[in-house]
Amino acid sequence: MMQMTYLDAGRRAVIEEMERDASVWALGEDLGRGGVFGQYRDLQEMFGKGRIADTPISEACIMGAAVGAAMTGTRPIVEMRFSDFALCAVDELVNQAAKARFMFGGQMRVPLVVREPIGMWRSSAAQHSQSLESWYTHIPGLVVVAPATPADNLGLLKSAIRSDDPVVYMEHKNLWALEGPVPDGEHLVPLGKADVARAGRDVTIVTWSGMRHGCLRAAEALAGEGIEAEVIDLRTLWPWDRDTVFDSVASTGRLLVVQEAVSVSGFGAEIAASVAEALHFQLKAAVRRLGAPRIPIAYSPGMEDQARVSDEAIIAALRGLMAPVAVS
């Protein structure tokens, strides 16, 4: 194992896959300068301008070119800079890439990866801070991935690049500098397999992306009170690992779903509803979900915090789930 940042783990994944497969290439704005966060640092010097391609400032143009290139035999990595900006390219992704295999009767594939940095990050304000994963989990034909650790950013990005389906790959901006252990050899994490980040017997927490770390801190804090929470990081939102989640909730009888995104119509509702439908006779308490209020994310740090799901909020929700149910 070696220590590596979340950002450098993603960069390593791109390098390894480009070295392994000559059909892999990347396109986006300012990649020759390393990308907006430095995740393509020195890659143009390593692979040339034909494989690390700078593009015009047009997300629709970038995505459209990538979809066509994927249909004709290459594996593009599409850099959207921010998930907010990717909305300018949603037609090419949702109405073309996601539907091509179906509309061509299985004769066409679109093996591309769309990197969309998500989440709140040091006062980036309303147009640069959103978590929009639920937009894409709703669309048949798309795979949706949200890594939370350096090792997962390496292994999941490599698996995404090798996928024959279009993958929306959502890296959390606030995790770029996060350091953690990463295998120093070949490392692949399968798409669709959750990670049980912490074992527990009393309550199940299901989460993904940056909220993994707040949930782990909350679980450790409550362990001192005798409450043992199991923390499941989905890693892949579609397809999501129903077996791991259902097995855990069947054992604990309680579920809290935690997301950074706005709670209204968020992907947490899908998890909550699926568990409630499948395991309602085994639940000891009503399923709860925790997410941001339906407000724009402000530039001001104090106002930004009003949209943030804090460790304290997670702890309070867990205590509420563990409280005895009053019987009238």
| pLDDT score, position 120 | 86
| pLDDT score, position 33 | 95
Asked whether residue 32 carries a pLDDT value surpassing 60, the answer given is: yes
The single residue listed with the structure tokens 């907010």 is 84
Asked whether residue 326 carries a pLDDT value surpassing 70, the answer given is: no
| pLDDT score, position 327 | 47
Single-letter code of the amino acid located at 165: D
| Of the candidates 77, 215, 192, the residue with the CA atom closest to the CA atom of residue 144 | 192
Give residue-wise pLDDT tens across range 285-302: 999 999 999 988 888 888
pLDDT > 90: percent of the chain: 90
Which of 128, 172, 187, 213 is catalytic? The answer is: 128
CB-based contact 51:75 (threshold 8 Å): no
| pLDDT score, position 127 | 79
Asked whether residue 213 carries a pLDDT value surpassing 90, the answer given is: yes
Give residue-wise pLDDT tens across range 179-207: 999 999 999 999 999 999 999 999 999 99
Residue 3: CB atoms within 10 Å: 10
* Cα-based distances in Å from 31 to 35, 102, 113, 223, 224: 4, 32, 15, 45, 47
Beta strands at 75-79 and 113-115: parallel, antiparallel or unpaired:
parallel
**Residue 128 known to be catalytic:** yes
Q: Distance (Å, rounded) from C-alpha 253 to C-alpha 21?
A: 46
| Of the candidates 259, 311, 319, 316, the residue with the CA atom closest to the CA atom of residue 290 | 259
Residue 19 buriedness (CB in 10 A; 0-12 / 13-18 / 19+): exposed
CB-based contact 194:239 (threshold 8 Å): no
Read off the pLDDT band of 165 (50, 70, 90). Answer: very high
Give residue-wise pLDDT tens across range 50-77: 999 999 999 999 999 999 999 999 999 9
Give residue-wise pLDDT tens across range 87-145: 999 999 999 999 999 999 999 999 999 999 999 888 787 878 799 999 999 999 999 99
Output the pTM of the full model: 0.95
| Mean pLDDT over each residue of the chain, to the nearest integer | 95
Q: Distance (Å, rounded) from C-alpha 253 to C-alpha 286?
A: 9
Q: Distance (Å, rounded) from C-alpha 192 to C-alpha 236?
A: 5
| pLDDT score, position 325 | 62
144 contacts: CB under 8 Å, gap ≥ 6:
133, 136, 137, 167, 168, 170, 236, 237, 238
Q: Which two three-digit tokens encode residue 242? A: 């129903």
Beta strand extents in the chain (DSSP E only)? 2-5, 24-28, 52-54, 75-79, 113-115, 143-145, 167-169, 179-182, 195-198, 203-207, 229-233, 236-238, 255-262, 288-292
Q: Give the three-state DSSP class for 314.
A: helix
Buried b (16+ CB within 10 A) or exposed e, 128-153: bbbbbbbbbbebebbbbbbbbbbbbb
- Hey, what domains does the chain have and what are their CATH numbers? 2-182 (3.40.50.970), 195-322 (3.40.50.920)
Beta strand extents in 166-307 (DSSP E only)? 167-169, 179-182, 195-198, 203-207, 229-233, 236-238, 255-262, 288-292
Q: What is the DSSP letter of 216?
A: H
| pLDDT score, position 125 | 79
| pLDDT score, position 273 | 97
| Of the candidates 216, 119, 125, the residue with the CA atom closest to the CA atom of residue 174 | 119
Query: What backbone torsions phi and psi does residue 251 show, to the nearest 5 degrees?
Result: -80, -45
